[in-house]
């Protein structure tokens, strides 16, 4: 439930900058967390490379994968596709850190003010970054998310809907595949480590605690893979009751809607 007291410096296994000076206008960094996803990571990275949005950087962080050869696959892919990105980097945790610490580390290495977050077992549609970026620019919000479609062991449309403070305090319906401003991430002090899971839900509740607004783009742009080895399907599912208590403990004061606005 608490942030980890130690944070080993990650190894930089690959780094390439297309330009020494990167213009931040319309620049988006995609961060990808990988943990033993050799079977899926190439598909994920291809979906990022195929984006219609031109100005992209990519930061992939591996959370000390030891059960497969996903790191080797990522290195090979980056060497072949490095010219697609303004900046591209592969980081590797020397000790397993979990998703929260891994995402925080990756975001710290992002060269842009706007970031998009995803895991290595998921994919995005070719226009995802472009449409989310355009929506973010047209709004006063600090982040934007879209509808997702689940695939793999289950095939159905996701449950994303309008950002509603009261409803979010009851249950999470916003996936972490979202585009946010780096300042918003810093304002809530990044992701917090929660042993049993639900770090994503906690992250969005911290947005609400700080009065940070999000906007919903009602279009299917992200694909969420459902499979038996995901953290959601294992740790978080078994600890559902305990996690509900943890969320209430961490976010005890539900603001009134008029107060939030």
Decide: 130 and 56 in contact? Cβ < 8 Å.
no
Alpha helices in 68-164 (DSSP H): 70-81, 98-108, 128-138
3-state helix, strand, coil in the chain (%, to 5): 35, 25, 40
pLDDT of residue 158: 94
Count how many residues are written for the chain. 261
Decide: 166 and 254 in contact? Cβ < 8 Å.
yes
In sequence order, the β-bridge partners of residue 89 are: 15, 59
Cβ partners under 8 Å of residue 229, min gap 6:
none
Task: State the DSSP code for 254.
Answer: P
pLDDT of residue 23: 73
Integer angstrom CA distances of residue 159 from 3, 145, 163, 172, 224: 29, 12, 12, 9, 12
Dist. CA 154–CA 62, nearest whole Å: 26
Domains and CATH numbers, the chain: 11-251 (3.90.550.10)
Supply the pTM of this predicted model.
Answer: 0.89
pLDDT of residue 233: 47
- Model pLDDT for residues 53-108, shown as the tens digit of each residue: 999 999 999 999 999 999 999 999 999 999 999 999 999 999 999 999 999 999 99
Task: State the DSSP code for 194.
Answer: -
Dist. CA 164–CA 145, nearest whole Å: 13
Question: Which parts of the chain sit beneath pLDDT 50?
Answer: 1-2, 233-236, 257, 260-261
**Percentage with pLDDT > 90 across the chain:** 75
């Amino acid at each position: 439930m608490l942030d980890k007291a130690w944070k080993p410096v990650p190894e930089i296994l690959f780094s390439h900058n297309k330009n020494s000076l990167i213009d931040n206008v319309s620049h988006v960094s995609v961060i990808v967390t990988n943990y033993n996803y050799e079977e899926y990571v190439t598909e994920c990275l291809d979906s990022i490379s195929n984006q219609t949005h031109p100005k992209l950087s990519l930061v992939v962080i591996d959370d000390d994968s030891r059960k497969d050869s996903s790191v080797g696959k990522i290195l090979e892919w980056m060497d072949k596709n490095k010219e697609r990105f303004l900046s591209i980097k592969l980081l590797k945790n020397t000790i397993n850190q979990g998703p929260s610490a891994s995402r925080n580390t990756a975001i710290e290495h992002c060269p842009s003010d706007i970031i998009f977050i995803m895991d290595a077992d998921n994919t995005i549609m070719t226009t995802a970054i472009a449409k989310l970026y355009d929506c973010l620019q047209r709004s006063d919000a600090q982040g934007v998310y879209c509808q997702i479609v689940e695939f793999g062991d289950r095939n159905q449309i996701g449950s994303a809907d309008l950002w509603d403070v009261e409803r979010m305090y009851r249950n999470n319906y916003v996936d972490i595949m979202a585009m946010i401003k780096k300042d918003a991430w810093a304002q809530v002090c990044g992701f917090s480590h929660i042993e049993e899971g639900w770090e994503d839900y906690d992250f969005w509740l911290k947005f609400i605690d700080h009065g940070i607004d999000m906007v919903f783009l009602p279009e299917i742009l992200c694909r969420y893979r459902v499979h038996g080895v995901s953290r959601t399907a294992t740790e978080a599912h078994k600890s559902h009751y305990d996690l509900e208590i943890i969320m209430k403990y961490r976010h005890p004061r539900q603001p009134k809607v008029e107060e939030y606005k």
